[in-house]
Amino acid sequence: MKYRTIGADPARRREVSVLALGAMLFGSVTDEQTSFAILDRYVEAGGTFIDTSNNYAFWVDGSQGGQSEQLLGRWLRSRGVAKDVVIATKLGARPLAPGTGYVDNAEGLSAKTIRESVERSREQLGVDTIDLLYTHIEDRTVPTAETVGALGELVAEGTVGLLGVSNHAMWRVERARALAAASGVAGYEVLQYQHSLLRPRFDIPFPLFEDGSLGSAGPELLSYLRAEPELTLVAYSPLLSGAYVRQDKPLPSDYDHPGTPARLDVLRQVAKECGAGVNQVVLAWQIGGSLPVIPLAGASSVTQLEENLAAVDLELTEDQRARLDAAH
């Protein structure tokens, strides 16, 4: 395994594995025995960075979520590895009532909600400190200063280690970070957005948000990452839910443009040259790139996890990387 540091403050920064494990469906779609087996193998291979959310997976059974956090809590207690791994969770998108969604009925990011949600997550995970806490989606009904202040208090208390942000417009991320700096409190240090080798069209809105730029890491976010070297991008859905390799998983409509076939052609060429799978090349492209990107990949079996883990040691040549980058 290889490792990367997230966070800039020496007192709070953490070293994590360059491949993060997504636990979104653990405890719901993926049963406990299989989930435990995947988690055990991930840690055995040197993996240390596990991702969940307080609303995973509410859509499976019409609940408010929490199954993933609860399963991770049981696993952490049974294995005694809480100090050896970094657990990231999210708040803000938990449905307020069972059977509803988070687009129009989310818990939001008020100071009161943040405090209550963090306490619930700590209890479900069975930890004193949440290693990394993300604000999951925007809440434009609450002043940014209120959200920033509430998060800063939790870090100062030691209840939360690092702060991250997901699915927010970049101008709001910058505003929040500026407010935190001006107030002398901890600010966002990790960004979590959808990012892969294939690029979506940004003139087609992301299905769950008003602004098509909110879900995916576009040129503005990548430029921001270059300008702010202390930030790290955690890339969710790097393998596009299996669409690179599965005929039954078509690419989303926002990938239907002339650049997609060109990039797929080069991807397949490079995979053949490496004697690797296309998924492994995509992950290796992210892990070894010039920008600080940590792919966040889920797995529904140990076999899938093994394939992903093999990408960590796959070294692309400069020529291969240049061809992947240039294809459009």
The two structure tokens encoding residue 256: 């239907």
Nearest C-alpha neighbor of 72 from the set 83, 59, 87, 57: 87
Helix crossing, 32-44 with 67-79: angle to 10°? Answer: 60
Degrees (nearest 5) of the Cα angle 139, 141, 145? 80
Catalytic one among 3, 42, 56, 193?
A: 56
Give bridge partners of residue 233 from the DSSP assignment.
191, 293
Q: How far is CA 90 from CA 189, 274, 322, in A?
A: 14, 36, 35
Helix crossing, 278-287 with 259-274: angle to 10°? Answer: 100
Q: Go through 142-162 and write b for each residue having 16 or more CB atoms within 10 A of its CB, e for each that does not.
A: bebeebbbbbbbbbeeebbbb
Residue 56 annotated as catalytic = yes
- Which residues are known catalytic residues? 56
